[in-house]
């Protein structure tokens, strides 16, 4: 069985005053999630917003519990490691036999 666990998060980056500031924070989030949790990430929407970012991530495993655990740990990591406010979080899991 293959399980794909996904998240979407909208964050506010209060210390971002230019697109370059925002992109540096978003790139750092994506890089660290990939390195630490092996999550594939992308900035999905709000590309022209100076202070908001919509980030999505996916993790493939063979267990729903493992996928959900990794997603929860990744969200906690984002909350504690970066100067931002989380506005919206959505988790999804799909499994394929």
Please write the tens of the pLDDT for every residue from 18-65. 889 899 999 999 999 999 999 999 999 988 888 999 999 999 999 899
Which whole number is the average pLDDT over 82-89?
Answer: 90
Query: pLDDT band at 5, cuts 50/70/90?
Result: very high
- Using CA atoms, how far residue 32 sits from 14, 36, 37, 62, 81, in Å, is 20, 6, 8, 23, 10
Stated pTM of the model: 0.85
d(CA 31, CA 35): 6
User: Which residue is listed with tokens 């209060």?
Assistant: 14
DSSP state of 76: H
pLDDT for 44 equals 93
pLDDT for 39 equals 94
What does the mean pLDDT of the chain come to? 91
CATH class (in words) of the domain with range 2-96: alpha beta
Q: Can you name the residues that pair with 28 across neighbouring β-strands?
A: none
Give the residue extent of every domain in the chain: 2-96
């Amino acid at each position: 069985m293959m399980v794909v666990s996904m998240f979407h998060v909208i964050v506010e980056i209060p210390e971002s005053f230019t697109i370059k500031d925002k992109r540096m924070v978003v790139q750092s989030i994506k890089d660290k999630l990939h390195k630490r949790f092996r999550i594939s990430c992308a900035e999905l929407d709000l590309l022209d917003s100076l202070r908001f970012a919509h980030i999505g991530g996916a993790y493939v495993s063979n267990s729903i519990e493992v996928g959900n655990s990794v997603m929860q740990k990744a969200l906690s990591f984002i909350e504690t490691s970066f100067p931002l406010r989380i506005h919206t979080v959505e988790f999804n899991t799909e499994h394929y036999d």
